[in-house]
Structure 1
Amino acid sequence: MSQALDRQDAFEETPAKPATLPPGTPDDVIAALNGDRPLRILLPSYRSNPTTGGQGVYMRHISKALAELGHQVDVISGPPYPDLDPRVGLIKLPSLDLYATPHPIRAFRPWMLTSRIDLFEWWSHNWGGFSEPYTFGERMARYMKTRIHEYDVMHDNQTLCWGMLKVRDMGLPVVGTIHHPITMDKRIDIAHMPNPWMKFLKWRWYSFLNMQMKVARQLDPVIVVSESTKRDVVKDFKVDPKKMRLVYHGIDHIQFRPRPDIERQKNRLIVCASADVPLKGLIYLIRAYAELLKTRPELELYVIGKLREGPTAVELRKLGIMDKVHFITGLSDDEITEEYAKATIAISPSVYEGFGFPAGEAMSCGAPVIATTGGSLPEVVGEAGVIVPHSNPPALAAAIADLLDNPAKRDELGRLARERILREFKWEHTARNVVDIYKEAMTHANGGLKYAGA
Structure 2
Amino acid sequence: MTAEAVQAAVLRPPAGASATDDGDRPLRIALLTYKGNPFCGGQGVYVRHLSRELARLGHTVEVIGAQPYPVLDASSGPGGLGLTELPSLDLYRQPDPFRTPRREEIRDWIDALEVATMWTGGFPEPLTFSLRARRHLAARRGAFDVVHDNQTLGYGLLGLDRLGFPLVTTVHHPITVDRRLDLDAATGWKRRASVRRWYGFTRMQRRVARRLPSVLTVSGSSRQEIVDHLGVAENRIHVVPIGADTELFSPDPSVPRIPGRIVTTSSADVPLKGLIHLVEALAKLRTENPRAHLVVVGRRAEDGPVAAAIERYGLDGAVDFVKGITDQELVDLVRSAEVACVPSLYEGFSLPAAEAMATGTPLIATTGGAIPEVAGRDGETCLAVPPGDAGALAAALGRLLDDAELRRRLGAAGRERVLARFTWHQAAVGTVERYREAIAVQGGTAHAQRSAAAQLSRRRI
Q: Same fold (TM over 0.5)?
A: yes
1:69 aligns with 2:63: no
Which digits, 9 at most, give the CA deviation of each residue in 1:182-239, with x for residues without a partner?
0110010111112110111011000000111111111121111101001111111011
Which digits, 9 at most, give the CA deviation of each residue in 1:83-134, with x for residues without a partner?
112331111001000001626453241563x621101111111221100010
1:290 aligns with 2:283: yes
**Displacement, 1:353?**
0.4
The answer as to whether partners of 2:18 and 2:443 remain within 8 angstroms in 1 is no
**Displacement, 1:299?**
1.2
CA distance in 2, matches of 1:432, 1:127: 43
2:175 is matched with 182
1:349 is matched with 343
1:60 aligns with 2:48: yes
1:21 is matched with none
CA distance in 2, matches of 1:395, 1:318: 20
Q: Map 1:79-98 onto structure 2 (within 5 A).
A: 79-87=67-75, 88-98=81-91
2:426 is matched with 429
Cα 1:418–1:193 shift into 2, 3 Å: same
The answer as to whether partners of 1:47 and 1:56 remain within 8 angstroms in 2 is yes
Cα 1:297–1:276 shift into 2, 3 Å: same
Cα 1:202–1:352 shift into 2, 3 Å: same
Gaps of 5+ in 1: 1-25
The answer as to whether partners of 2:244 and 2:424 remain within 8 angstroms in 1 is yes
1:382 is matched with 376
**Displacement, 1:28?**
8.1
1:163 aligns with 2:156: yes
CA distance in 1, matches of 2:195, 2:287: 36
CA distance in 2, matches of 1:27, 1:352: 40
1:76 is paired with a residue whose SS is strand
The answer as to whether partners of 2:376 and 2:382 remain within 8 angstroms in 1 is yes
CA distance in 1, matches of 2:18, 2:150: 29
2:185 is matched with 192
Cα 1:28–1:394 shift into 2, 3 Å: closer
1:78 aligns with 2:62: no
Q: Map 1:227-238 onto structure 2 (within 5 A).
A: 227-238=220-231
CA distance in 1, matches of 2:49, 2:288: 42
**Displacement, 1:141?**
0.9
Q: Map 1:383-422 onto structure 2 (within 5 A).
A: 383=377, 384-422=381-419
The answer as to whether partners of 1:141 and 1:166 remain within 8 angstroms in 2 is no
1:328 aligns with 2:322: yes
1:142 is matched with 135
Match of 2:20 among 13, 22, 29: 29
CA distance in 2, matches of 1:368, 1:103: 38
**Displacement, 1:52?**
2.3
Which digits, 9 at most, give the CA deviation of each residue in 1:59-102, with x for residues without a partner?
00110010000001000001110111233111100100000162
Q: Map 1:232-251 onto structure 2 (within 5 A).
A: 232-251=225-244
1:50 aligns with 2:38: yes
Name the aligned partner's letter for residue 378 of structure 1: P
Which digits, 9 at most, give the CA deviation of each residue in 1:426-453, with x for residues without a partner?
1111111111100110111111699xxx
Name the aligned partner's letter for residue 391 of structure 2: P
1:254 is paired with a residue whose SS is coil
**Displacement, 1:305?**
1.3
2:20 is paired with a residue whose SS is helix
Runs of 4+ in structure 1 off by over 6 angstroms are none
**Displacement, 1:349?**
0.2
1:204 aligns with 2:192: no
1:73 is paired with a residue whose SS is strand
2:459 is matched with none
Name the aligned partner's letter for residue 203 of structure 2: N
2:454 is matched with none
**Displacement, 1:143?**
1.1
1:5 is matched with none
TM-score normalised by structure 2 residue count: 0.88
CA distance in 1, matches of 2:272, 2:138: 38
Cα 1:219–1:266 shift into 2, 3 Å: same
The answer as to whether partners of 2:259 and 2:291 remain within 8 angstroms in 1 is no
The answer as to whether partners of 1:76 and 1:90 remain within 8 angstroms in 2 is yes
The answer as to whether partners of 1:302 and 1:325 remain within 8 angstroms in 2 is yes
2:144 is matched with 151
Match of 2:252 among 259, 265, 268: 259
Gaps of 5+ in 2: 1-16, 76-80, 448-461
1:221 aligns with 2:209: no
1:313 is matched with 307
Cα 1:389–1:104 shift into 2, 3 Å: closer
1:358 is matched with 352
Cα 1:446–1:314 shift into 2, 3 Å: same
CA distance in 2, matches of 1:132, 1:27: 29
2:14 is matched with none
Corresponding residue pairs, total: 421
**Displacement, 1:49?**
1.2
CA distance in 1, matches of 2:141, 2:309: 52
**Displacement, 1:323?**
2.4
Structure 1 vs Structure 2: percent identity of aligned residues?
42
1:339 aligns with 2:333: yes
Name the aligned partner's letter for residue 106 of structure 1: T
